[in-house]
Amino acid sequence: AQRVTQPEKLLSVFKGAPVELKCNYSYSGSPELFWYVQYSRQRLQLLLRHISRESIKGFTADLNKGETSFHLKKPFAQEEDSAMYYCALTYNFNKFYFGSGTKLNVKP
Amino acid sequence: EPEVTQTPSHQVTQMGQEVILRCVPISNHLYFYWYRQILGQKVEFLVSFYNNEISEKSEIFDDQFSVERPDGSNFTLKIRSTKLEDSAMYFCATTLAGGYEQYFGPGTRLTVT
C-alpha cells in the first residue's frame, strides 16, 4: 500500500517566491511525519519532524490529520534551497516509509 | 561532528556473486537501518536492527539478504546471490535510540552486471 505520496517530481520557483512541497500519507493511526533533504552530492539529512513543530531554514510543515497531509512550506525561497526533498512516515521507529521525492529548483 | 560512513562507495559485481556492504555507525548509536534507492525511484526501507537482532524487515528483504554486526562496530548488509534488479544505492542510517533523528551514510552504489 502506498503510504507516502509526493505528487510533484519537480518544482521550479523563482528566488523570493513562496514554495509548497506536497506530501500526503495513508495511515489510520498516529504516525510520525518527517521531511528529509538531500543537497547535491550530500547525504540525506533530517530537515524537520512534525512533533517538534519548529522552523528549520525558514521551512515549516503542519500535520493535517483531516486531509492526511504534511506539506512543507517556505514563504521566500532561496537559491540554496535547491535540493531533493523527501517526506517520510513511521509508526514505530522500526520501519520508515519514504515518498518518491520532489526536486526543488530555485531559479535566480 | 560524527558521521556515518559506508564502504565501498561504489561496488560493481557480476550477477550471482555475493556482496557485503559495510557501514560504520556513529559510536554511541544503538539502532541501525538499511535502505535502498533504485535510480529514479523512492528510498525504500529494507531492515532495522537493534540489540543484535532484526527489529523489522520489508518485503524486499528476502532470504538473499542478511545483516549483522560482526565486531560491535561495523554493520553489514550481505546479498548472497546478486540479481540485476539489486542495482541501487544502498544507504545505512543509525540513530541513538528509537524516536531520535536518523543519521544517514553517503551510500554505496551497487551495480550488478
Enumerate the residues of chain A whose CB falls inside 8 A of the CB of residue B4. Answer: 43
CB within 8 Å of A11: residues ≥ 6 apart? A19, A21, A102, A103, A104, A105
Separation between Cα atoms, residue A73 and residue B54, nearest integer Å = 36
**B98 min Cα distance to partner chain A (Å):** 6
pLDDT at B8 over 80: yes
What are the tens digits of pLDDT across the range B42-78? 899 999 999 899 999 999 999 999 999 988 789 999 9
Separation between Cα atoms, residue B66 and residue B81, nearest integer Å = 11
- Are B42 and A101 a contacting pair at CB < 8 A? yes
What are the tens digits of pLDDT across the range A33-66? 999 999 998 899 999 988 777 788 999 998 898 8
Window 74-103 of B, Cβ < 8 Å to A = 91, 93, 95, 98-99, 101-103
